Amino acid sequence: ILKRFSMWSSRVFSVEVDGAPRYFGIREQLRGEPVPPDVFSEVQKQDRCYSLLVCSGDRVTGDRFHWELRDRLQRQLPPGSGLRSMSSFIPDQKGSLLKGYFLQSRAGNSSLIEDILTDLEQRNPVLVCSYSQSEDGQQWTQCLWYQSEDNPVRFCVVPSETPKHHPSVLNMINSDVFYSLDEACDVLKQCGDIIPETRSVLGMLPSSLDARRKPDFPVIVIEGLDATGKTTLTESLRDSLGATLLRSPPQCLSAWRGRFDREPPLIRRAFYAVGNYITAEQINQEASKSPVIVDRFWHSTAAYAIATAVTGPVSNLPHEGAEVYHWPGDLLQPSLVILLTLDPEERKRRLRSRGLMKTDEEEELDHNKLFRTRVEEAYRRIVGSACIALDASPSADLVLQQALLLIRAKCHL
Ligand SMILES: Nc1ncnc2c1ncn2[C@@H]1O[C@H](COP(=O)(O)OP(=O)(O)O)[C@@H](O)[C@H]1O
Ligand SMILES: Nc1ccn([C@H]2C[C@H](O)[C@@H](COP(=O)(O)OP(=O)(O)O)O2)c(=O)n1
């Protein structure tokens, strides 16, 4: 575990405070005046703080353990304890990201929390550190938990400048967003023993998949946040154009979708990625006979994954043109992608009129403006297929007319 945590003093630690990352570093000795990083600014005098980082060698078991650990800690920690997401990484070093939690215990709860952490550390691939405050409250130090209290190696906690890239960006490719069917299948295959449904999902993949074959008829994807009017528009376009209507994830996966929505991002996004490849095969079959309309496709999978992995303001997203926005080389590219945009209040009104939130992420869209703006911006940054924004606020019929004009202009239908 310590090997994975090597180069201590080159690591940055990130703790989520109010939906955005706050950073600090550690140094073997203090240079200059102590300045406690703002992560500790709200910590009371008698409080104790701990960090708990998952250091598993296997990413599927590590991600699942990290995912389940939050509920476990929330159940076990005494009331009033603080629990925040945390990560540690070496700036710009891919593969250096470790995910975990930052705990803050009220005075008097420390022994209970320390029993929980000792038990966790003895039986799981986790690295636990504890933080102590100097008498004057100005200086914090960090030490490894497993060391005996009598000779702990203490590191001075120091403020860290904001790294160029959000820590999640280091780990995104083929973990949050998948760029080949093989990569997505590899993750699901590793889950076969723990999630039996993965065998059924993989069984839905055709034996031979030529997702890149150029379709005979135009393929138009309709994208947008929940309740922007995708279902209404796609069904009207199907009728107006005599087209086939498909969706992603495809109908054949609907029985298992709820099961994978409960999994950590690594497994969940692999599920949606495989869904896109199955939809791509269905598109190939149908587009030899008629135009095809698709309700959500790779834009949704990538945009929601990127916007979920990154926290804080839009500026934390990977920069425009970054590799993470590129279309997978083995996935069919549509003729046209129409992104429905809608004022947030109108979208909420339509959502209320229709009801039924589908996934936690859709719920998140409504009470987390930061998340919503990250999703919308990630949609716009995806390159590969011409993606044209269409204002979805007019009446359903007017939106349909506008969409038909776009399709006729771009797809010569
Ligand atoms: N252009 C529109 N103007 C007003 N209401 C609309 C419009 N398009 C759809 N709606 C209504 O808004 C709600 C959400 O539409 P829906 O097509 O289900 O969105 P999505 O598929 O994007 O979640 C539904 O009640 C639908 O009848
Ligand atoms: N191709 C897709 C489709 C949906 N998703 C995810 C992203 C969001 O969490 C949800 C949105 O799907 P949902 O069916 O709830 O949204 P709509 O009701 O169709 O607007 O699913 C995805 O990752 N990839």
User: Cα separation of 112 and 48, whole Å?
Assistant: 12
Q: How far is CA 287 from CA 335, 364, 395, in A?
A: 11, 35, 29
* Distance from Cα 378 to the centre of ligand 2, integer Å: 15
Q: Which amino acid is at 215?
A: P
Atom index in ligand 1 nearest the CA of residue 340 equals 22
Which of 350, 351, 352, 395 has the most ligand 1 atoms within 8 A of CB, as the residue to mutate? Answer: 350
Which of 177, 257, 300 has the most ligand 2 atoms within 8 A of CB, as the residue to mutate? Answer: 300
Cβ atoms of 9 and 155 within 8 Å: the answer is: yes
The C-alpha angle 331, 97, 18, rounded to 5 degrees, equals 95
- The closest ligand to the CA of 234 turns out to be 1
Atom index in ligand 2 nearest the CA of residue 275 equals 1
Show me where the domains of the chain are located: 1-170, 181-411
The pLDDT assigned to 242 comes to 97
Which token pair is 114? Answer: 């320390």
Q: Is the dihedral of CA 368, 372, 378, 381 positive or negative?
A: negative
The pLDDT assigned to 206 comes to 86
User: Cα separation of 88 and 23, whole Å?
Assistant: 9
H/E stretch holding 363 reads helix 360-367
User: Cα separation of 198 and 221, whole Å?
Assistant: 27
Q: Is the CB of 395 under 6 A from ligand 1?
A: yes
User: Dihedral (C-alpha) 323, 326, 331, 334: value to the nearest 10 degrees?
Assistant: 180
For 249-262, the DSSP string reads S-GGGHHHHHHHHT
Q: Which amino acid is at 80?
A: G
Global ipTM: 0.97
* Distance from Cα 300 to the centre of ligand 2, integer Å: 6
Q: Whose CA is nearest to atom 17 of ligand 2?
A: 226
Q: How far is CA 317 from CA 224, 228, 293, in A?
A: 19, 23, 30
CATH top-level class of 181-411? alpha beta
The pLDDT assigned to 8 comes to 75
The pLDDT assigned to 176 comes to 94
The whole-angstrom distance between residue 132's C-alpha and the CA centroid of its chain comes to 32
Per-residue pLDDT of the chain (413 residues; tens, 9 = 90+): 566 555 677 899 999 998 889 999 988 887 777 777 788 887 877 888 999 999 988 899 999 999 999 999 999 999 889 999 999 999 988 888 999 999 998 877 888 888 888 888 888 889 999 998 888 878 899 888 765 556 677 889 998 989 999 999 988 999 999 999 999 999 999 999 999 999 999 999 988 777 667 889 999 999 999 999 999 999 999 999 999 999 999 999 999 999 999 999 999 999 999 999 999 999 999 999 999 999 999 999 999 999 999 999 999 999 999 999 999 999 999 999 999 999 988 998 898 888 766 567 767 776 788 899 999 999 999 998 878 999 999 999 999 999 999 999 999 87
Atom index in ligand 1 nearest the CA of residue 225 equals 22
The pLDDT assigned to 1 comes to 59
Ligand 2 neighbours, Cβ below 6 Å, are 226, 230, 248-249, 272, 276, 296-297, 300-301, 304, 358-359, 361-362
Which of 340, 359, 365 has the most ligand 2 atoms within 8 A of CB, as the residue to mutate? Answer: 359
Pairing mode, strands 82-89 and 126-133: unpaired
